[in-house]
Amino acid sequence: MNGEQWFKVRKIATPAFHHDKLKVSQILYEVLRLYSPAPLLTRANVKEIKLGEIVIPPGVLLSLPIMLVHHDHEYWGDDAKKFNPDRFSEGVSKASKNQVSFFSFGWGPRICLGQNFALLESKLALAMILQKFTFQLSPTYMHAPTRGVTVYPQHGANIILHKI
């Protein structure tokens, strides 16, 4: 890509880069909520903790089911299964009820180091595609999210690109 082409890409992509509350960010968060690439996290408990009535001794491996929490009506409301990017209009911390329940990138001191990079890269890729193409879902697409190491569409994500 030459300098002029980069200038064009940057001009289109720039607004998408700088604001957490932009629609494109909300869309990416909602996709990550519904189809979190990492469906669960594990943690090893180092010292005894009490969670409600349950006492967890040190050395226990805890499984934190991201996918289940992300689809839980108790945290996300009646439309928990629906694609609704607007729920992120006030940012991640206000998207769910009562407490932060979005953790596609993990949480705490070991939170994903590449989080900002991944979001930025997605926006840049999208901006570059939208410059040259419109696209639509192919009629051959079958909605079948499944999991290997990460969550992925079992039969691929078939889309039809139209050159602008």
Q: Does 145 bind ligand HEM (CB under 6 A)?
A: no
Residue 69: partners with Cβ closer than 8 Å, 6 or more residues away:
75, 101, 103
Residue 112 marked as a ligand binder = yes
Region binding ligand HEM by CB under 6 A among candidate stretches 3-11, 44-52, 98-106, 139-147:
98-106
Q: Does 37 bind ligand HEM (CB under 6 A)?
A: yes
Q: Does 31 bind ligand HEM (CB under 6 A)?
A: no
Per-residue binder mask for ligand HEM (CB under 6 A), 43-82, x = binder: ----------------------------------------
> Quick one: 36 or 96, whose CB is closer to ligand HEM?
36
Q: Does 39 bind ligand HEM (CB under 6 A)?
A: no
DSSP classification of residue 92: G
Q: Does 113 bind ligand HEM (CB under 6 A)?
A: yes
Ramachandran angles phi, psi of 157, nearest 5°: -110, 90
Q: How far apart are CA 62 and CA 11, in angstroms?
A: 45
**How far apart are CB 53 and ligand HEM at their closest, in Å?**
26
**How far apart are CB 3 and ligand HEM at their closest, in Å?**
26
Q: How far apart are CA 84 and CA 30, in angstroms?
A: 7
Region binding ligand HEM by CB under 6 A among candidate stretches 33-41, 49-57, 140-148, 156-164:
33-41
The candidate with the shortest Cα–Cα distance to 67, out of 159, 157, 147, is 147
Among 17, 75, 107, 152, the residue binding ligand HEM under the rule CB under 6 A is: 107
* Amino acid letter, residue 99: Q
**How far apart are CB 157 and ligand HEM at their closest, in Å?**
15
Q: Element (H or E) spanning 161, and its range?
A: strand 159-163
Q: How far apart are CA 8 and CA 133, in angstroms?
A: 15
Ramachandran angles phi, psi of 42, nearest 5°: -120, 150
